[in-house]
Amino acid sequence: MDLNTREKSDFKIVDISGKINRLKDSIVLKSFVNGLIEKNHLHIALDLENVTYLDSGALNVLIYCHNMLSQKHGQLVLIAPNEYVQDVLEVVGLDKLVKIYFSKENFDNDQAGT
């Protein structure tokens, strides 16, 4: 798993690539997002376009990040999950908890309108 950041409007975007399928990956992702929150980045977008697999640990991290940001009146959004990841998010109900942009263009257009 690789992580990189960029910014768009009020959002700090975390580009994630690879599989999030080991405990170590989940710990690294959680720590990474916690670091952003500690630096007062309260609008975080996780770009999942290049994520090929995620396990239950990764789902727990997404829920944790959503809860942490919500407590601070922030927001977590997900961008461009592939069909597999999208199905997993829907099965566990994360699509009802976290805003999902099904393409980068949708996210960009929404930010342009802000």
Give the model's pLDDT for residue 53: 94
Task: Quote the pLDDT of residue 112.
Answer: 84
Domain at 108, CATH number: 3.30.750.24
If one counts the domains in the chain, the total is 1
Q: pLDDT value at position 113?
A: 75
Cα–Cα distance for residue pair 2/108, rounded to 1 Å? 22
Angle, CA 66 vertex, CA 65 and CA 72 arms, to 5°? 90
- Residue 114 is predicted with a pLDDT of 58
86-111 pLDDT, tens digit each = 999 999 999 999 999 999 999 999 98
Domain coverage including residue 76: 2-112
- Buried-exposed string 75-104: b where 16+ CB fall within 10 A, e elsewhere: bbbbbbbeeebbebbeeeebbeebebbeee
Q: What amino acid is encoded at 58 in this protein?
A: A
Question: Which tokens belong to 44?
Answer: 């975080």
Give the chain's residues under pLDDT 70. 114
What pLDDT is attached to residue 80? 98
Both structure tokens of 55: 């396990």
pTM to 2 decimals?
Answer: 0.94
